[in-house]
Structure 1
Amino acid sequence: MRSTADENDSTRSVDIPVPNLAPADRDQMFALYESYYEAVDRKGFERDLAEKDAAVIIRHERKIIGFSTYLVRPQTVGGETVHYLFSGDTVLHPARWGDPVLLRSFFRAAGAAKAEVGGRLFWFSIIGGHRTFRILPNFFCDFVPAIDGPVSARLQTIRDAIATARYGRHFEPSTGLIDFGPSQGHLRDQWADVEQTALRNRFAAFFLRANPSYFRGVELACLAEFEIGNLKRYAAASFAEGLKDGR
């Protein structure tokens, strides 16, 4: 378990193995998640949580105000074995949107995971909202789907291998979309707001073009490598902290 205090207030982040989550933590996490997502239930939430290795928990005055769950797994692609960090259910109270507290903790956790696996580590994510998608252009240099410039064929091959292994027929490589049919969870209308944001933000506009059916739970499969040279802004610093602490 790793814990970090925010310099500005009583907010703390902690990285907790899933088996160590207290029942009260699980109750708070689901209550927070359900308040922002539709088509979710406690059974599905617990099933998703059980697959994950750990959760990054953000507390303010002992109350959970945000979290992200994740797992790390190997994937063989063309004879090479790489590892990917797959982030699952993620939510942060709107009062803290724009605050880097959850992202910094996430990148520290990724750095520690990179130290543990030793080799290449990628962030594999399936994204149903424009705010999460904007992490890619804001904090990574190269990623797929690419917004500017040529698409990295290697990144796309790795993404497709992981997505196919995890989701099979639900994944369509030509679009990068994962369609489960009935929604397995999507943002409530008042929190999605991608159409309005797309009018003033080109990254949100790209997400809307890439995943026009986000509103019924369709997810966009994305991939980026966790590597200092591929990270921007405070992501690189936080990742380096986790990398150092994990060794």
Structure 2
Amino acid sequence: MLHSQLVSISTLSDDDRGAMYHLLTHHFQGVTSDIFAQDLAHKNWVILIKNKQLQLKGFSTLQLYDVSIHGEDIGREDISVVYSGDTIVDPTAWSSATLPRAWIQSINQLRCPNKRLFWLLISSGFRTYRLLPTFWQVFYPRHDQSTPEAMQQLMHTLAQQQFGAAYDRETGIVRFPHPQKLSPILGTISPERRRDPHIHFFEQTNRGHSQGDELVCLTEICADNLTAVGRRMWFGRSLAA
């Protein structure tokens, strides 16, 4: 049985930091202690997933921040953004929905009720991208609809602020100087998986995913945008203390 814990980065213990780094290096190639520390320093929350023996089985770091956007159709608007950083679940815990449930409930707990909230996600793995259609009705980019201009401009703005020159506007891809590559066990897409239109789209749009290329994605986080599965997560029981 797994349980979740939402922890402020400022109070994260050295033991948990070490366990996070170990889990990440076990499943990603190209991870260094410096890169891991830098990523963590730019986040303000982390969701930890542990088993009954308190062994770390997964985690996701979060950066929650506010930004002002400008557009012809909306004028100026202050919004909140959650950016997902390092995220990994050990294969032994893949059958559990603990991390996505904890993620959605954490965001519901942290969000400002008076501001629109957007999820800025980058994905080098098809499993991460597949979370979007599982939990959200409207998200971009996607296989069955072009990205609306307003959403595309917001994606460009947020990605350029977050990733600078590493972001390619033409492709929507982020290429880091020192990319973290998923191990072949986690990153390989089987022929059966390719029959899923979402996964096929991800593979065709992010052809360099096996080399650590990250596809920029965006969705608005609100109750009206949840799928049936997402609603069960959103309105489920509160996070464990």
TM-score, normalising length: structure 2 = 0.90
Conservation of the 8 A alpha-carbon contact between 1:53 and 1:72:
yes
Query: Any unmatched runs of 5+ in structure 1?
Result: 1-8
1:71 is aligned to 2:66: no
2:118 alignment counterpart:
122
Deviation at 1:193, TM superposition (A): 1.1
After alignment, is 196-205 or 61-70 more displaced?
196-205
Distance 1:158 1:241, change over 3 A: farther
Deviation at 1:187, TM superposition (A): 0.2
Deviation at 1:76, TM superposition (A): 2.0
Distance 1:48 1:57, change over 3 A: same
1:34 is aligned to 2:25: yes
Counterpart amino acid of residue 144 in structure 2: D
After alignment, is 204-213 or 142-151 more displaced?
142-151
Residues 1-247 of structure 1: pairs in structure 2 closer than 5 A:
9=1, 11-61=2-52, 62-78=54-70, 79-114=76-111, 116=112, 118-180=114-176, 182-194=177-189, 196-240=191-235
Q: Following TM superposition, where does structure 1 have runs of at least 4 consecutive aligned residues deviating by more than 6 angstroms? A: none
- 1:112 & 1:185 partners in 2: Cα distance? 30
Deviation at 1:146, TM superposition (A): 2.3
**Secondary structure at 1:27 match in 2:** helix
Conservation of the 8 A alpha-carbon contact between 1:197 and 1:204:
no
Conservation of the 8 A alpha-carbon contact between 1:159 and 1:223:
yes
Deviation at 1:135, TM superposition (A): 0.7
Cα-Cα RMSD: 1.9
**Secondary structure at 1:143 match in 2:** coil
**Secondary structure at 1:147 match in 2:** coil
Conservation of the 8 A alpha-carbon contact between 1:172 and 1:178:
yes
Aligned residues: 233
TM-score, normalising length: structure 1 = 0.88
Identity, % of aligned positions: 26
Deviation at 1:145, TM superposition (A): 0.4
Q: Give a deviation string over 1:159-181, Cα, whole Å, max 9, x none.
A: 1110011122221222211122x
